[in-house]
Amino acid sequence: MTILARVKKRGIWVVVLLGVAVGLLFLLRLQTQETSERPASTQPTQETIVRGVSVEATLQDIPQTIESTGVVIAETRANLSSKTIGIVEALHVDEGSVVNKGKVLIQLDHRALNARLARTDAEVSNAHANLQRMDDLFNEDSISPQDLDNARRGYQVAVATRDEVRAQLADTRVLAPFAGIITRKHIEAGELAAPGQPLLELENQTRLRIDVSVAEGDVQAVTVGHSIEIIFDSLALKVIEGKVFQIVPSADPATHTFLVKIRLAADDTIKPGMFGRVMFKKQPRLAILIPLSATVSRGELTGVYIVNANHRLGLRWVKLGRQANSMVEVLSGVNENEHLLADATQGRDGARFEPRETSAARDEDETP
């Protein structure tokens, strides 16, 4: 056998072996595909069923409130200052001192004025003696009426000068204009006091009020004599009753708000400077309300499970408004009288819904 014949014979065997290998691989692939497809064709599908309670979206009155914040202040308060310049000789009060009306709070140095008063007293005495002497001389026709008038005017000038010094001396004392409590002290003994300079702050804390700003669109809901509630967060959300006693008739041109003044009911726990939240009640408005438990959150989205006519659950995204107790307002996404799954945590999109009452009845029927 020649070399060429041997090569041809070997090539035929190689082709035969390759064909057999390809055939085996093809059969193996078919068998694998049938094995993977058989469970899918034989495994039955199971429908998702949600048993629960459905609620109806209803149109209800929702309360409306206007919340505004303010700071408590004393209705009667004053920044006290002196009418004249001088060194503070004595300071008779401190922060927290309770004072009565007319009490001397600050005494300025008045030595120079005392000396002037002594001089004016002497001038008044001399002028009075001169007036009596001139009056006697006039009765004796020893002087002219003009001389008597000059003496009379001299006496009047001396008395006016003495009265002026007495008034200046009284101005060296700072008195309490009303009964109250000292809340601030801005000067100490030995310092110089000047007219218009704040020295003390006095408050009568028996009558307190809170001033708040109300937007021009809401001020129509506020009337004088209206009773409202003020919430104090610092007192564990304590609620104090107040009454509107004044609405400033001119709005702030910068903020377009009106100043509303509210007098607070007597309460020893409320102090000036405390922060309060004023709640004005408005007329209720109609809105679609659903239970808060019927909502589910997915990131920044909020949805509900609607029960359609075929008793299927469908997830629908909604926009919520204000919350009122356990109910929440729906601004969009739900129509009136639509039914929703009460507990959204049970919801499955596309699942069949069975009322819990129907499921319980079925159990009773199946019980022998």
> Which phi and psi (to 5°) does residue 326 adopt?
-95, 5
> Does the global pTM surpass 0.85?
no
- Say if residue 363's pLDDT is above 70: no
Calpha distance 64→325 (Å, rounded):
13
Calpha distance 146→152 (Å, rounded):
10
- At the fourth CATH level, which superfamily is domain 110-171? Helix hairpin bin (1.10.287.470)
Q: Which residues pair with 277 in a beta bridge?
A: 69, 231
State the angle between helix axes of 111-139 and 145-170 in degrees (0 to 180), rounded to the nearest 10.
160
- DSSP assignment, residue 44? P
Element (H, E) at 255: none
Residues 6+ apart with CB under 8 A from 255: 213
Q: Predicted confidence band at 40 (pLDDT cuts at 50, 70, 90)?
A: very low
Calpha distance 263→240 (Å, rounded):
11
**What average pLDDT does the segment 342-365 reach?**
73
**What average pLDDT does the segment 155-160 reach?**
94
Calpha distance 338→56 (Å, rounded):
6
What is the CATH architecture assignment of 67-72+207-284? Answer: Beta Barrel (2.40)
Residues 6+ apart with CB under 8 A from 219: 247, 258, 260
- Which pLDDT score, from 0 to 100, does residue 47 have? 77
**What average pLDDT does the segment 48-66 reach?**
85
**What average pLDDT does the segment 292-297 reach?**
91
Residue given tokens 């209206």 in the structure block? 226
Tell me what the pLDDT averaged over the chain comes to: 85
Q: Predicted confidence band at 97 (pLDDT cuts at 50, 70, 90)?
A: very high
Task: Decide: 264 and 211 in contact? Cβ < 8 Å.
Answer: no
Q: Which CATH class is domain 51-61+286-366?
A: mainly beta
* Domain segments of the chain as ranges: 51-61+286-366, 67-72+207-284, 82-106+176-198, 110-171
Per mean pLDDT, which range of 110-124, 150-164, 216-230, 347-361 is the poorest? 347-361
